[in-house]
Amino acid sequence: MINKIKIIILILIMVSCATPKKCCAQKDYKKYFEDFNLEKTLKRHIKFSTIYGAVNGGTSVSDVKTYAVSTGQLEEGVIETPFDYSVTLGIRKIARFGYENKAQTFYDGTESNYTDAATVGKVQGFEYLFEVDYARQQGVDYIDQHHFIRYSSDDNCEGPYCIDHFAAKLEYLKDGFADVEYFELSERYRYKKNKYLALSVGAAHRLAEPYGYNPLEEWILDNGNLHYTYLAIQEGYTIDVANSEYKDPDGNIVANSSEVWKEVVIPQVLANYTQRKRNELSKQIQHSIILGFDYYHYNKNKWIHAWGNLLPYHYDDGNEFSYHKYNNGEQWYDYSGGVIYGVKVDRHLGYFVEAKYNRYWNREWYDFKFGVNYVIF
């Protein structure tokens, strides 16, 4: 199987360089390396990039009043939710497509740039994004990160960075709210069918935690119930049934009734246990075949930009935590895509649809928006 994958990759490289146009080894790289200047190269790639930082915040969900009866007395409490915020730091150099306009003077980290997820950019050469968001939403703290470097090239282009029929993207994504994190490198043979549509095929390599692994599986009894009490005891909790005292590993009383123990404490015990067991495992690398397309057509009254990727085959290395094991040893489909569509019907009316969708390892995350504009003169 390994030899088959090597052959496929070798064929892709050979095909991409077999074109009669200038490509790959047919370019004169000797002169380029002789004239190479690191300082000038760095300046060229940093020029016109934007470094940005911003803090955003606002009110979260309202506080919730709670009521309880203890020894016959009514006790009132309040569950407070702190305000939402985000701190964003980043640098980006990404050319805007024709339908994009810079409505804001500054980047503030709240922009939803759907085209960042596209396989290729608008211009030839390298584009990049490095962004980190420290955020709190509805009382939950998390960190989002999105970094990528992508390379796009048209056929018959000139310059040392031009490789006909080739596209590549190196990406790291961590979405704390969707609970997904991975590295991905893809390199593709890209065929431009016409000036609007391009098709691509290549290989994708993803590094991520072993998704599909369920740490609680070993605690499930034959009848399907979860033996959560014994798990909690193994984690250091103690139970004094006679005195109705439930203590955490530090000896603090966390519940004084079985109802609170089951409904409040146990869910936190299971969450902490699951997170700890997942963190103990090393990252897994997944090699896959990737098929894709990108389509871009723009004029001032109508535009569409669409892209899609399908990963239909994944190499099974027999690892204990390979996703194949959690998928009954069978192949599966991972895919992603997006579309940006807009129409100006006349000088008054216009409408738009924007969306992107991802599904990896049976996890999905997506964004969408649509709307209508009517201008009154």
- pLDDT given for residue 293 in this prediction: 95
CA–CA–CA angle 286, 287, 288 (5° rounding): 115
- pLDDT given for residue 98 in this prediction: 80
Cβ atoms of 155 and 328 closer than 8 Å = no
What is the tens place of the pLDDT at every residue in 93-126? Answer: 888 888 876 655 666 666 667 778 888 887 778 8
- pLDDT given for residue 243 in this prediction: 85
Highest mean pLDDT among 1-5, 272-276, 294-298: 294-298
- pLDDT given for residue 108 in this prediction: 65
- pLDDT given for residue 56 in this prediction: 87
Band of pLDDT at residue 16, cut at 50, 70 and 90: very low
CA separation for the pair 172, 130 (Å, rounded): 9
- pLDDT given for residue 288 in this prediction: 97
Cβ atoms of 302 and 345 closer than 8 Å = no
Structure tokens at 205: 């390599």
CA separation for the pair 182, 283 (Å, rounded): 9
- pLDDT given for residue 114 in this prediction: 75
Alpha-carbon separation of residue 224 from 110, 217, 235, 270 (angstroms): 44, 10, 21, 16
CA separation for the pair 203, 312 (Å, rounded): 11
What is the tens place of the pLDDT at every residue in 323-338? Answer: 998 888 899 999 999 9
Cβ atoms of 187 and 175 closer than 8 Å = no
Highest mean pLDDT among 39-43, 109-113, 248-252: 248-252
Task: Report CA torsion sign: 164, 165, 166, 167.
Answer: positive
Domain ranges of the chain: 6-60+82-213+281-374, 215-280
CA separation for the pair 9, 202 (Å, rounded): 7
pLDDT over 60 at 53, yes or no? yes
- pLDDT given for residue 29 in this prediction: 53
Average of per-residue pLDDT across 279-305: 93
Alpha-carbon separation of residue 314 from 86, 117, 290 (angstroms): 37, 22, 9
* Mean pLDDT score across all residues of the chain: 83
What is the tens place of the pLDDT at every residue in 188-240? Answer: 998 888 889 999 999 999 999 998 888 888 888 878 788 888 889 989 999 88
Pairing of strands 84-93, 253-255: unpaired
Task: Report CA torsion sign: 215, 219, 224, 226.
Answer: negative
- pLDDT given for residue 204 in this prediction: 96
What is the tens place of the pLDDT at every residue in 306-316? Answer: 999 999 999 99
What percent of the chain lies above the pLDDT cut of 70?
A: 84
What is the tens place of the pLDDT at every residue in 140-187? Answer: 888 899 999 998 876 666 666 677 788 899 999 998 878 889 999 999
Secondary structure, 3-state, the chain: CHHHHHHHHHHHHHHHHCCCCCCHHHCCHHHHHHCCCHHHHHHHHHCCCEEEEEEEEECCCCCEEEEEEECCEEEEEEECCCCEEEEEEEEEECCCCCCCCCCCCCCCCCCCCHHHHCCCCCCCEEEEEEEEEEEEECCEEEEEEEEEEEEECCCCCCCCCCCCCEEEEEEEEEECCCCEEEEEEEEEEEEECCCCEEEEEEEEEEEECCCCCCHHHHHECCCCCECHHHHHHHCCCEEECCCCEEECCCCCEEECCHHHHHHHHHHHHHHHHHHHHHHHCCCEEEEEEEEEEEEEEEECCEEEEEEEEEEEEECCCCCCCCHHHHCCCCCCCEEEEEEEEEEECCCCEEEEEEEEEEEECCEEEEEEEEEEEECCC
What is the tens place of the pLDDT at every residue in 70-87? Answer: 667 777 777 777 888 889
pLDDT over 50 at 13, yes or no? no
Burial class (CB within 10 angstroms; exposed 0-12, middle 13-18, buried 19+) of 206: buried
Half-sphere exposure of 192 (CA within 13 A, CB side): 14
pTM: 0.77
CA separation for the pair 196, 95 (Å, rounded): 18
